[in-house]
A and B are shown apart, each in its own frame.
Chain A
């Protein structure tokens, strides 16, 4: 057992500096580890959502209960651009990310000065506001029926038109964006700004006394997080070809908290592990019983109570590479 532990520790240590490359390689073969491709796509998309959320939650130490807003704004922004304005998908995806970013500036700007539970409540309330606006704006958003007609059939790659409806194509299409996002995030975390985030998470008062603008840094992290979540939302819209109102619902905000905690907050790979485990439970247990949430909820509680570092975080700790 301890030999395995040492060996794993060495593997993790070797992979560390190349974490993005290692993850991309893993994701290239990942669809064959899943029961079917659509599930793998969902893991990528929700994993990316959880990665974005983790920027504020795990790396900065802010618990937001309103991150559905950015996922949803990304989805609706991208979906409306395609379904209502007929924009090509690259522009639509950009529009979704941009809309999520604007939303993050506004929601972050209003909430960032509050702390702890107050911050969580303000983000929740503002995200609900966004939900109701989109729910009511039926002519544009389709209201409670969701936004239909987000049709992307082919992806032009030079002279080749790839069939976007083929699950394999769709998976690798999403993977390209997830890889880019992970590469960017890895750079940000390694940057001086990433060091400031660590400092704020460790001790806000000292960070401020060092001369760091704590509120400004938190807002920047919040907006960055919103952009990542918006990208995940936009990909979700393209994947589903509709935008259901649930993307903005507060349950989606809760879902991302659960996935990040389950996988391991503040770890680079943890959010994907959390997304994969949660979605696998949903997929497999719901074949047996409609009460799959009971299983997911129990597992979640076990981790929160006994393994607060989550699945991936606990594994890293076990092999001596604490997150």
Chain B
């Protein structure tokens, strides 16, 4: 499983006042794999996600993407380097149609300050956006404003928006949060499909969702890396069992 590393966190720590949310977290994410970050509530998953996606500046350590130190780099520059993300709380352009949500994300690659020619003259963007929406199952909802979509559809739209910037690394923070079981299943199928073509890092609270689809799993606990390895190694790990036992029966946590 040792491939080239696309993104790595080196000794990352984050403190909020007196609270240490992350402590010396070092993780390397291999290119072309689906890596899941799991852990019980308060493990520091979201903080870690925000640090590697550039939304939070770490108190210690650094984040390296494709050999380049990206710690503290602006969000929009990270996007242009090839990192896209979907947030835990849906973040879209609510009044714009599904199509325009994706079209504008694709536009960021070609025109950001063009003031004179009409946007409709930019070639290919609408086709590209339509294809992406087809791919996430929203091909029939192009003209609906994002705010008018069902929750599951919004999550799918957000993934299409993230894909529109043609990322080499896709970061997803609890993409199934608040979803019905059917919606969850279709989103997980989508993620598996996406992971065949690019690197995906998935932060997920529900362990059983990720165990069967991940190439690697990182378990965070109390802001530290508790375990790291293939899903089988994680299943066999006694410490992981103990941590998840506190949350309920191991079967419920997906350990069997």
Question: Which residues of chain A have a CB within 8 Å of any CB of chain B?
Answer: 187-188, 190-196, 198-199, 202-203, 205-214, 216-217, 220, 224
> Knowing A203-B94, A208-B79 touch, does A190 contact B112 (C-beta < 8 A)?
no
With beta carbons under 8 angstroms apart, the residue of A203, A214, A216, A217 that contacts B92 is: A203
Distance of A314 from chain B, by nearest CB (Å): 17
- Give the residue name and chain of the A residue nearest to B81 (CB): A211
Alpha-carbon distance between A211 and B75 when the two chains are bound, in angstroms: 7
- Assess the B104–A195 pair: CB atoms within 8 A: yes
Residue B85 lies at the interface, judged by CB distance under 8 Å to chain A? yes
* CB<8 Å pairs between A and B, sample of 18: A192-B117, A192-B119, A193-B111, A193-B115, A195-B100, A195-B104, A196-B112, A198-B104, A199-B104, A203-B93, A205-B87, A208-B74, A209-B79, A209-B91, A210-B164, A211-B112, A213-B76, A213-B112
- Distance between A182 CB and nearest chain B CB, rounded to angstroms: 15
Q: Which of A199, A211, A217 contacts B165 (CB 8 A)?
A: A211
B172–chain A nearest beta-carbon distance, Å:
13
Residues in B with CB closer than 8 Å to A220 are 113
Residues of B near A207 (CB, < 8 A) are: 93
Contact A210 B115 (CB under 8 A): no
Bound Cα distance from A192 to B115, whole angstroms: 6
Q: Report yes or no: A202 in contact with B113, Cβ–Cβ below 8 A.
A: no
Is A187 within 8 A of B94, CB to CB?
A: no
Number of contacting residues on B, CB 8 A? 38
Q: Which of B76, B92, B103, B161 contacts A208 (CB 8 A)?
A: B76
A212 cross-chain contacts in B, Cβ below 8 A: 76, 108, 112
Task: Mark each residue of chain B from 31 to 54: 1 if its CB lies under 8 Å from any CB of chain A, else 0.
Answer: 000000000000000000000000
Taking CB atoms, residues of chain B closer than 8 Å to A224 are: 115
Min CB gap B226→A, angstroms: 29
Q: Mark B95-111, 1 if CB is under 8 A from A, else 0.
A: 11000100111011111
Query: Which one of A193, A205, A208, A214 contacts B113 once the chains associate, using CB atoms below 8 Å?
Result: A193
A209 touches B75 (CB 8 A): yes
The one of B80, B116, B119, B162 in contact with A195, judged by C-beta atoms closer than 8 angstroms, is B119
Check B119 against A194 for contact (C-beta < 8 Å).
yes
The residue on A at minimum CB distance from B106 is A210
Shortest Cβ distance from residue B89 to the other chain A in the assembled complex, whole angstroms? 10
Q: Chain B residues near A190 (CB, 8 Å)?
A: 118-120
- Are A196 and B91 neighbours in the complex by a CB distance under 8 Å? no
Whether a CB of chain A sits under 8 angstroms from the CB of B123 is no
Residues of B contacting A214 with CB < 8 Å?
76
- Whether the Cβ atoms of B76 and A202 lie closer than 8 Å is no
Q: A208-B75, A211-B76 are in contact. List 10 more A-B contacts (CB 8 A).
A: A192-B112, A192-B114, A193-B112, A194-B119, A196-B107, A203-B92, A211-B109, A211-B165, A212-B112, A224-B115
Contact partners of B74 in chain A: CB under 8 A: 208, 213
Q: Which residues of A contact B109 (CB under 8 A)?
A: 211
A191 to B109, CA, bound (A): 15
Given known A191-B118, A191-B119, A220-B113, contact A210–B105 (CB-CB < 8 A): yes
Are A217 and B113 in contact (CB-based, < 8 A)?
A: yes
Q: Give CA–CA (A214, B110) in the complex, Å.
A: 16
Q: In the assembled complex, how far is the CB of residue B119 from the closest CB belonging to chain A, in whole angstroms?
A: 5
A191 to B117, CA, bound (A): 6
A196 to B93, CA, bound (A): 11
The 4 A-B pairs of least Cβ separation, nearest first, read A211-B79, A202-B93, A211-B108, A192-B111
